[in-house]
Structure 1
Amino acid sequence: MLTRWTTESEKEQLLGLQTAEILDLNARKEFQRITELTSRMFMAPIAIITVLDEHRQWFKAPVGVDMDGSLRTDAFCDHTIRNEGIMVIPDTHLDSRFSENPLVTHKPNIRFYAGVPLIMESGHAIGSLCIIDTQPRTFSEEQGQQLQAMAAIVQAQLHYHHRIGKINEVTGLPNRTQLKLDLKSLCILAPGSARGLVLMEVLNHASLLEMSNALGLNYVEQLMRDIAKAVTDMTGPHATVYHVGLARFAWVISAGRQEDEEALVNQLLEYLQKPITSADLRFELQPRAGVVRFYLNQDEVDDVIRKAMVCVQQAGYNARSFHRYEENEDSLQQRSYRLLRDFGRALGNGQLRLVYQPKFDNHSFSCKGLEALIRWKHPQMGEIPPSEFIPLVEATPLIHSLTRFVIKTALAQVAAWKAEKLDLQVSINISPRNLDEVDFPDYLNAMCNQHGVPLENIVIECTESDVLTGHGTVQALQQIRKLGIKVALDDFGAAYSNLASLKNLPAEILKIDRSMVCDIDTNDRALSVLKSIMTMASDLGYRLVAEGVDSAEVFDLLVSLGFDEIQGYYFSRPIEASEIRKFVEERNRYANGK
């Protein structure tokens, strides 16, 4: 699986590409010769080297097309970089992913496509070498190998041009490439000696890009030059300072006492925390730094820059300006990366499944509803808690695929139960990012129709904070309610819980978080708060659901208070779909007996 871009690393990659002039491939005749040769080799009317940035794909050294690129959302290349090898589309008209693509229905009228991702030394896929035809065609395995060989030539040229510059063009300081070379040289000069690598980020990527948008690139570059001078002056003539990222600087120190190392770094941090004047403007920086101790051997040197980046990131997580590298934190981060890397594969090979947690209906004493919950059994790591992988996935475009997997799986199961005369309402959790999709309500409606599931059998759950802070989420939920699908506010009470906003939120079910109910049998204040919420919610017409109920005492108290539904381990743990019929029938027989 190729390294996937998060939004932050995408921006860093873009600026790195600009610095190395890779986006100016048209100026390099060797790349034009490669695409011309590729076009002739495969008798393809179009051959292109494509490069992606955050919003667009750019056509570089093109043959047979006079366009300079397209939106990234339309880019075949955006699909190609997600593959480990070649991607071939023999006939785009027969591929539902591309049949309505503007590049198919309009210029350049792509009918056949074959592309190979171009991988930088960092592991990032930056674009592709592709051939295009306006007619459908077949593509043999041998031809695929030949195209991959041509892509390898492009990559070699890209690597060469990337390596050729070892000086940051803005600050004039040696860059990350030079740092890597110098670390390898130190391994030869002083093998086995202890050193420390300091990495300092003076501005985070988001702030830097906002500044660039507001003031222009010239101001940002001048600020980087002034900061570089300040860091160089503070570290003294015996230290070599490297400009290793957008606003990141690094230098190597001798491994002395930790107290002395921290004193040196904190002195520089204190200096940079003061307002700095650059180009007649005053700026407030947000510097943070990390220190990694390492020994001068090849294995440790190869990994020390990555460890320093982990260190700086951890300083940000902890809201601190300084952090020292810790192995356990790094292990957790590497685990998170592996999970995110493997999740795309998990979506397609049966590692994911849904379990269902029954809800107790307080009016009939039966079970009429369930909540669909995702589970992941990793082939090597075993069961992965949703609390671990969902936040990772939610920060990437994979959340859209996950939500659609859950919707399709849950609806198919509801349809199967209905065919067995088992009528159940199922709640499905969604992300605020799903609500930002323009067609999400229509997608829900279409999926319900496709599976023959009545809309009233579905409840959409989203957290209150998501609704209040998401863009366009309220409007999307209103559309979902108009369809006849119920909307529930999940985890109410877990965050800031703006009570006044309840009158405006487009929901009819209020799910009270376990933190609000777990101790009501022993805490009078907690019980009073819950009763107040119940009164307010009832007056506003909400149906009340308590979740996370794990004890008989709390369960009985909630029943007496008149909650509409109760959900938690006391009533039932989440169970497999195959066990639902037995559970529901036994529960409902018991309820009817009462």
Structure 2
Amino acid sequence: MLSVLIVLRTLAVAGALVLLVRRLRRETTARATWRHYVAAFALLTGASTLETAVVVGGSSVGSSGLWLALPLRLASTVASFHLYRGVALWMQLREKSRPAGRVDWLVGVSCILGLTGVVNVVVAVPDGVAGLAVQLRWLHVCSFGVLLGALVVAAWRMPRAIRGRARGVALAVLLVLSTQLLYVFLGPRTDVVVAAWASWVVLAAAYGTLSLLRPKQITREHPSAVAVPVASSVGLVLGLAAVAGAGLHVAPTHWALGFGTVAIAGSSVRLVRLVRDLADHDRALRQAGTDDLTGLANRREFLRRLGLQSRTGEGFGVLLLDLDRFKEVNDQHGHAVGDELLAATALQLEQALPPGAVLARLGGDEFAAILPGSGTDDAVCRANAMLAAIEVGASVGVATSTGADPLSGTELLRRADAAMYAAKASGHGVAVHDDVADRAWRQRLALSDDLHLALGPEAGPEAAEQFEVHYQPQVSATGGTGAGRVVGVEALVRWQHPRLGMLAPGAFLDVLEERRLMPALTALVARRAVADLTEWRAAGHDLRLSFNLSSTHLSDPGLLPLLDELVTSGADPAHVVVEVTETSLMNDPDRALATCQDITARGFSLSIDDFGTGYSSLAYLANLPADELKIDRTFTSRALADERIAAIVAGTVELAHHLGLRVVAEGVEDPATLDLLHELGCDESQGYLHSRPVPAAEFLRWLQARERVPAVL
């Protein structure tokens, strides 16, 4: 009967090994866990096979001597350690957790050795080889005891979906542990003990293996943060108890002293690692919520603090600050100077805010602040203080919450963003959110999305048809037979919006600049306008064409290839004028001068648009390879009513003529202004007096009626 039970035990353990090997072959993620299970059951199978051979051969388990006891107990002890390691990894409940597994391995070994040391204090252990066999037995028993304790605790910490499996494995370990304790205290003298041990191991192997193998998909989580420090503390206490007991014991207990010392060392190392991990975790949290450049809170941390503030039920304000023309700083002086400006601005803003305020850099040149307990008036005062503290221009949007309203933190930030755009548009520096500003912000956001759909990289040809090129004539203002003759046209864009109808450039060009889509629109306008000019000149109309470049397109690497494409398409560059604003020239004077020289080297004429609105020096103007100067409408519209403005126009015309430039006056809307400009020496005029900007077909009809030229097209 005994032999049959031992054989059944061997078959049960071997069957569990086969199942675990099959699972290991199918496993793709947590292979380390199942490798430890396979190693544990392989050792148990080998030990059990050896013992079965001895029993079947006619010897008893207890009479075989140390030559059998030592290898069997060594194999069982190493197997229990592998089983502990596998269960430790399994309880991590996440894939690829080898570092965490090694940590739990250290904790488990410390607890096992500490418990074994305590056992050595209270249990007499013989010396020599026999004592080694007893130590291996107690290591084996203590490893199962520690494993059982870990499983019992884990059964209440695991997700509900696999809690039953943890309890099943714990019950199997309890069965094995109880048989080991019976074997230790009753010894191998009775066949009853051996029979119980064999039968219970059969049951434990079957039940535990099935509990581990049952498939169950669960949400992966990190184990409890309390488990590691508590287990490390337990190992440390057990080690101290073993060392202290060894010191107080009457007879020398070297085993207890050794086990306790190793347990103390292992637990101490783990606690040191724990402190280091906590410090690293705290540093990582700070870094995750901190802007690297300024040291302020970043967007993630700001939104977290904003959410906490909105849940307090107290009133607070949100300020959103955006630097004006920051991109020009980067373009003109480089990103290193831009970073220095942002860092200095952050320091100045911190000093301007009261204690308790939260300041963050949201990204780029945007800063935001939370003002706990602030109403609208106080928030506006703080916004003005921020503007006064920094050395660059900026716009600030203000939004406040009373605490009783149901506004979320993100909604308040959105309102501050809308108010900031209103402040930037008005030029007042600070704006408070209101419904009008909110509607304008929403419309601007929708307009931005529509522009991206029409001109972005994924836009189709049909989307580009929304943009129309209108033409405004330029008329000669000099005396003689050429007076009043149409000498050129300026190409101006209009957007036939699908919902909003026809939009003038002022409604969308600044949004276009923000989305960096201006080069795409300029290329579209230039290609269509050059095609129209080619047809008009072929029909006998001696015209030149002007089109505008934005400040961003002047520094765009695609500009010169576009001009080369226009020439390749058949356009005569001698009849095409490229207009650049005085302001765009001064953003990066050296680069702008080089680009202008490249433009004129290709045969195109260059015009300085909106002259008088920028800050260019006369020396810089003299170096530009320009052919034309356009006086802005802000001067021509006031020349009749203001003698000083008229004197400025006269001086500008004289200066331009001395430099060999043609002068075109924009914004001419009445005959009296035209007569004055003629007297002041302007060469050409452009404005509503002659014609509003109109589509190509309408302009051609207007031109034919004015010059009495028969229609050819």
TM over 0.5: same fold?
yes
Indicate if the aligned counterparts of 2:495 and 2:502 stay in contact, CA closer than 8 A: yes
Q: How far apart, CA to CA, are the structure 2 residues paired with 1:305 and 1:495? A: 35
Asked if 1:515 is matched to 2:623, the reply is no
User: Any idea what SS the aligned residue of 2:528 has?
Assistant: helix
CA contact (8 A) 1:234 1:268 kept: no
Q: Distance in 2 between matches of 1:220 and 1:388?
A: 34
CA–CA distance in 1 between the matches of 2:681 and 2:486? 16
Q: Is 1:335 aligned with 2:461?
A: no
Match of 2:34 in 1: none
> What letter corresponds to residue 443 of structure 1 in structure 2?
L
- The one-letter code matched in structure 1 to 2:468 is R
Distance 2:528 2:679 in 1: 36
Change (3 A) 1:435 1:319: closer
* Matching of residue 434 in structure 1 with residue 549 in structure 2: no
| Pair 568,301 (structure 1): closer, same or farther in 2 beyond 3 Å | same
Aligned to 1:365, what secondary structure does the other structure show? Answer: coil
Q: Which of 308, 313, 324 is residue 182 of structure 1 equivalent to?
A: 308
Matches for 1:141-180 after TM superposition, within 5 Å = 168=289, 175-179=301-305
Q: Note the 1:269-284 alignment, pairs <5 A.
A: 273=389
Change (3 A) 1:295 1:436: same
Q: 1:177 to 1:417 in 2, by over 3 A?
A: same
SS at match of 1:437: coil
Post-superposition offset of 1:289: 7.7
1:565 shift after superposition: 1.4
**What corresponds to 1:361 in structure 2?**
476
2-structure distance, mates of 1:284, 1:412? 44
Output aligned runs, 1:433-512, within 5 Å: 433-438=552-557, 440-450=559-569, 452-470=570-588, 471-496=590-615, 498-512=617-631
Partners of 2:307 and 2:453 in 1: CA distance: 36
1:11-61: CA deviations, max 9, x gaps?
xxxxxxxxxxxxxxxxxx99xxxxxxxxxxxxxxxxxxxxxxxxxxxxxxx
Identity of aligned residues (%): 25
Distance change in 2, residues 1:225/1:482 (3 Å): closer
Matched, 1:351 2:459: no
Q: 1:414 to 1:255 in 2, by over 3 A?
A: same
3-state secondary structure, aligned to 2:615: coil
> Aligned equivalents of 2:676 and 2:603: distance in 1?
32
Equivalent residue for 1:196?
A: 316
- Conserved 8 A contact 2:610-2:630: yes
Flag the structure with larger Rg: 2
Cα offset, 1:165, TM superposition: 6.7
Q: 2:692 aligns with which of 569, 573, 577?
A: 573
Corresponding residue for residue 669 of structure 2: 550
Q: Secondary structure at the match of 2:315?
A: strand
Are residues 337 and 294 of structure 1, via their aligned partners in 2, closer, same or farther at CA, if it must alter by over 3 Å? farther
Distance across 2 between alignment mates of 1:260 and 1:302: 21
Match of 1:293 in 2: 401
Q: CA deviation at 1:320?
A: 7.7
Q: Is the 1:273–1:287 contact (alpha carbons within 8 Å) kept by the matching residues of 2? A: no
1:344 and 1:569 mapped to 2: Cα distance? 32
Aligned length: 404
Which deviations, in whole Å up to 9, do the C-alpha atoms of 1:61-114 show, x marking residues without a partner?
Answer: xxxxxxxxxxxxxxxxxxxxxxxxxxxxxxxxxxxxxxxxxxxxxxxxxxxxxx
Structure 1 residues 364, 268: closer, same or farther in 2, change over 3 A? closer
Query: Residue deviations 1:342-386, cap 9 Å, x none?
Result: 113234412100000011123353213111000012111222221
The equivalent residue for 1:374 is 493
- The whole-number CA distance in structure 1 between the counterparts of 2:473 and 2:343 is 56
Q: Against the structure 1 CA distance between its residues 473 and 294, is the aligned structure 2 distance closer, same or farther, given a 3 Å change threshold?
A: same
Higher alpha-carbon deviation: 207-216 or 460-469: 207-216
Question: Which deviations, in whole Å up to 9, do the C-alpha atoms of 1:154-178 show, x marking residues without a partner?
Answer: xxxxxxxxxx979725679992343
Instruction: State whether residues 294 and 304 of structure 1, in contact with CA within 8 Å, keep that contact through their aligned partners in structure 2.
Output: no
TM-score (normalizing by structure 1):
0.57
Cα distance, 1:494 vs. partner?
A: 2.8
Give the whole-Å Cα distance in 2 for the aligned partners of 1:387 and 1:220.
Answer: 34
State the Cα deviation string for residues 372-406 of structure 1 (Å, max 9, x = none). Answer: 00001211122222123112212442111011101
Are residues 293 and 317 of structure 1, via their aligned partners in 2, closer, same or farther at CA, if it must alter by over 3 Å?
A: farther
Question: For residues 153-209 of structure 1, what are the alpha-carbon distances to aligned partners after superposition, in whole Å with 9 as ceiling and x for unaligned?
Answer: xxxxxxxxxxx97972567999234346436755xxx6xxx7333347699996999
Q: How many angstroms apart in 1 are the aligned matches of 2:656 and 2:400?
A: 53
- 2: CA distance, partners of 1:215 / 1:458: 37
- Opposite residue 176 of structure 1, the aligned amino acid is F
- Cα distance in 2 for residues equivalent to 1:292 and 1:423: 61
Asked if the contact 2:578–2:607 (Cα under 8 Å) also holds between the matched residues in 1, the reply is yes
- CA 1:587–1:183 in structure 2 vs 1: closer, same or farther (change >3 Å)? same
Offset of residue 481 of structure 1: 1.5
Say which SS state the counterpart of residue 579 (structure 2) adopts.
Answer: strand
Contact 1:290 1:315 in 2 (8 A): no
CA displacement at 1:215 relative to structure 2: 12
For structure 1, list consecutive stretches of 5 or more residues without a partner in the other structure: 1-28, 31-163, 275-282
Report how far residue 318 of structure 1 moved.
7.4
Would you say 1:589 and 2:708 are equivalent positions?
yes
Q: Which has the higher strand share?
A: 1
In the aligned structure 1, how far is the partner of 2:706 from the partner of 2:445? 42
Q: Is the 8 A contact 1:359 1:368 kept in 2?
A: yes
Report the more deviating stretch, 201-210 or 464-473.
201-210
Aligned equivalents of 2:351, 2:638: Cα separation in 1 = 58
Q: How many angstroms does 1:570 deviate by?
A: 0.5
Cα distance, 1:199–1:529 mapped onto 2, change above 3 Å: closer
d(CA) in 2 for partners of 1:177 and 1:353?
42
Q: CA deviation at 1:429?
A: 0.8
Contact 2:322/2:420, CA 8 A, preserved across alignment: no
Q: Residues 196 and 252 of structure 1 are in contact (CA less than 8 Å); yes or no, is this contact kept in structure 2?
A: yes
What is the one-letter code of the residue matched to 1:245? L
Counterpart AA for 1:416: E
- Corresponding letter in the other structure for 2:567: C
Q: Decide which structure has greater helix share.
A: 2
From the superposition, tell whether residues 324 and 532 of structure 1 become closer, same or farther in structure 2 (CA, over 3 Å): closer
Question: Superposition pairs for residues 47-66 of structure 1, below 5 Å?
Answer: none
Classify 1:354/1:266 alpha carbon distance in 2 versus 1 (closer, same or farther; 3 Å).
closer
Q: How many angstroms does 1:509 deviate by?
A: 0.9
Specify whether residues 300 and 178 from structure 1 end up closer, same or farther in structure 2 by C-alpha distance, changes over 3 A only: closer
Look up the match of 2:434. Answer: 326
| Residues 545-554 or 459-468, more deviating | 459-468
Contact 1:273–1:285 at 8 Å: present in 2 too? no
Output the CA distance in 1 between the equivalents of 2:636 and 2:323: 43
Distance 1:171 1:584, change over 3 A: closer
Q: Which residue of 1 aligns with 2:508?
A: 389
8 A Cα contact 1:198 1:251, kept in partner: yes
- Distance change (3 Å), C-alpha of 1:564 and 1:579: same
CA contact (8 A) 1:196 1:253 kept: yes
Verify the 8 A CA contact 1:179 1:242 in the aligned structure 2: no
**Structure 2 stretches lacking a partner, 5+ long:** 1-27, 30-283, 456-460
Q: 2: distance between equivalents of 1:521 and 1:229? A: 50
Deviations 1:309-366, CA, capped at 9 Å, x for gaps: 4446666777888653333233323322222221132344121000000111233532
Tell me the CA shift for residue 568 of structure 1.
0.7
